[in-house]
Chains A and B, each alone.
Chain A
């Protein structure tokens, strides 16, 4: 032991010196890159502020990033705050563009709305579950624990594992609203965060039922994950049915502006509705509109 500690003692100061150097260097380099990208030949420049729905925001950020990389002199600033804030900020001019995760109401017709994608939810069960469809009443009864055995809806004799989403998730709101449920009334057995976790939970439990974004569900079901997408109101849960508007449990993701968009705002809106961002939309498990 003796010689080793002796060596350690010699190493300590040099290690400290290295550490100090690293700290110094990193603080220096931090100050440098902020001034680049302004003397670019691109015509578009300035800042664009988007506020509103937390559902649309992650997508808007990704689109914004790609837009910034195409137009280095443009900054896209995305802030969350709910669809109503998106409407209010667009009206008051606080934001250039508002983000709204629903259809525009009649009294909001003073605003210009641009649908960039659609979002849909479907119920999923394990592939081996013999149940092929649940009526809305059955879904409500299952989620409020009035039905707690698959036998009662034509399935096996097994307890139903109800998979629900965590507080604040957009998919949760959409689900509750469609089925007219209040969250405290829901008696869940498992609460999950994102779609992927929901799919894994249902795939690993033959007696579970959950709901996920159709984009995520359809992708996994077609990649041999043992889940089954249940139709709602007799309409099959497919992205195609969301696109053509037949699937009931879906909504529009809109961007709104106060005036007819022009200049930078128009360029961004055109970009957000172009084919160039379809991969970003699909990454967020939303459904791009047909072009």
Chain B
């Protein structure tokens, strides 16, 4: 086979792969829309935000279909977890890279990788038997927004820490050596040289963590209490959109089932919004400096 022909083959294979991956995303979206249609027809888009609460029935003209508390629940849990995990992740990556002795850094990195590999059900189980009773002994009931946020923080921390760690490793050595030669302090180098250079990597890490936080289902379902209600405090139980689908899908029929697909669609829209936002922020802040 001539080099030209093997190249052409590869190009077409890659094109095929790309088309397949693209098609999957589009097909999933179309599928979600199609399955949501009965609910849109019988319930209407407005009622998903204005109904008194969430008491779905198979017949869409009866029942109540308000998804807002769950949308808010998803967003609040995600936001709380990212706000806690981002500084921790940045801190741990910086420690690992610039402050820890080599052997500690290596062991520490392995431990975080292990943390990233634990299945979410295991986290959920741990949350249910350790974290929730702990919170319950502090303030009644236990399963709460706080439990969800703490659990999600632990779950997305390794993702954030590892991505940022990789971003720091990609900062050219010359930058650091040059800054050191100028007599800058270690913290000065990290703040003034490393962070600006690694900005996009740090941002990607936090974004990946955010994505995982919003999509997480099992663990959140096990510790959040799943009561459909606007969370009015960190000790209040709440339900996320993902948990809503997982809890009710097995027994849902008719418009109730379709309404669960609307939950999925809403989740998808949320993720798309997140990615678009990241794109915008990325363009504004990261590229102006480099």
Contacts and interface: CB of A to CB of B under 8 A. Distances in A.
A88 interface: no
A189 B225 CA distance: 7
B99 to A, nearest CB: 25
B247 A204 contact: no
Interface stretch (B86-94, B137-145, B154-162, B191-199): B137-145
Contacts of A12: 10
B251 interface: yes
Contacts of A188: 227
Given A190-B143, A193-B246, A205-B142, A167 B55 contact: yes
B23 to A, nearest CB: 14
Given A183-B55, A184-B55, A170 B251 contact: yes
B70 to A, nearest CB: 12
Interface in B65-91: none
Contacts of B10: 12-13, 16
Given A168-B248, A204-B128, A204-B132, A190 B227 contact: yes
B129 interface: yes
A12 B247 CA distance: 42
Contacts of B252: 167-168
A177 to B, nearest CB: 15
A13 to B, nearest CB: 5
B141 A166 contact: no
Contacts of A204: 128-129, 132-133, 136, 142
Interface string B214-229: 0000000110011110
Of B56, B222, B251, chain A has the most CB atoms within 10 Å of the CB of B251
A183 B136 CA distance: 25
Given A184-B55, A207-B140, A191 B128 contact: no
Interface in A7-45: 12-13, 16, 19-20
A18 B246 CA distance: 36
A257 B53 CA distance: 40
Of A80, A189, A192, A197, chain B has the most CB atoms within 10 Å of the CB of A189
Chain A contact residues: over half helix, strand or loop, or mixed? mixed
A204 B227 CA distance: 18
B128 A161 contact: no
A193 B239 CA distance: 12
Given A167-B248, A188-B227, A189-B237, A161 B55 contact: no
Interface in A162-201: 164, 166-170, 183-184, 188-193, 197, 200-201
B142 A191 contact: no
Contacts of A164: 227
A172 to B, nearest CB: 9
Given A80-B253, A168-B251, A205-B136, A191 B13 contact: no
A100 B194 CA distance: 67
A83 interface: no
A194 B248 CA distance: 10
A158 B247 contact: no
B263 to A, nearest CB: 12
A167 B256 contact: yes
B140 A54 contact: no
B239 A191 contact: yes
A164 B253 CA distance: 20
Given A159-B141, A189-B225, A169 B251 contact: yes
Given A159-B140, A191-B226, A192-B226, A205 B237 contact: no
A190 B133 CA distance: 13
Interface in B117-143: 128-129, 132-133, 136, 140-143
B132 A189 contact: no
Nearest to B10: A13
B14 interface: yes
Interface in A211-264: none
B135 to A, nearest CB: 10
B222 A197 contact: yes
B143 A166 contact: no
**What are the 4 tightest A-B residue pairs by CB atom distance, in nearest-first order?**
A168-B251, A191-B226, A166-B247, A159-B140
23 contacts: A13-B10, A16-B14, A19-B17, A82-B253, A159-B140, A159-B141, A166-B226, A167-B55, A167-B247, A168-B56, A168-B250, A183-B55, A184-B55, A188-B227, A189-B143, A189-B237, A190-B142, A191-B239, A193-B226, A201-B143, A204-B129, A204-B132, A205-B136
Interface of B: 6, 9-10, 13-14, 17, 53-56, 58, 64, 128-129, 132-133, 136, 140-143, 221-222, 225-228, 237, 239, 246-248, 250-253, 256
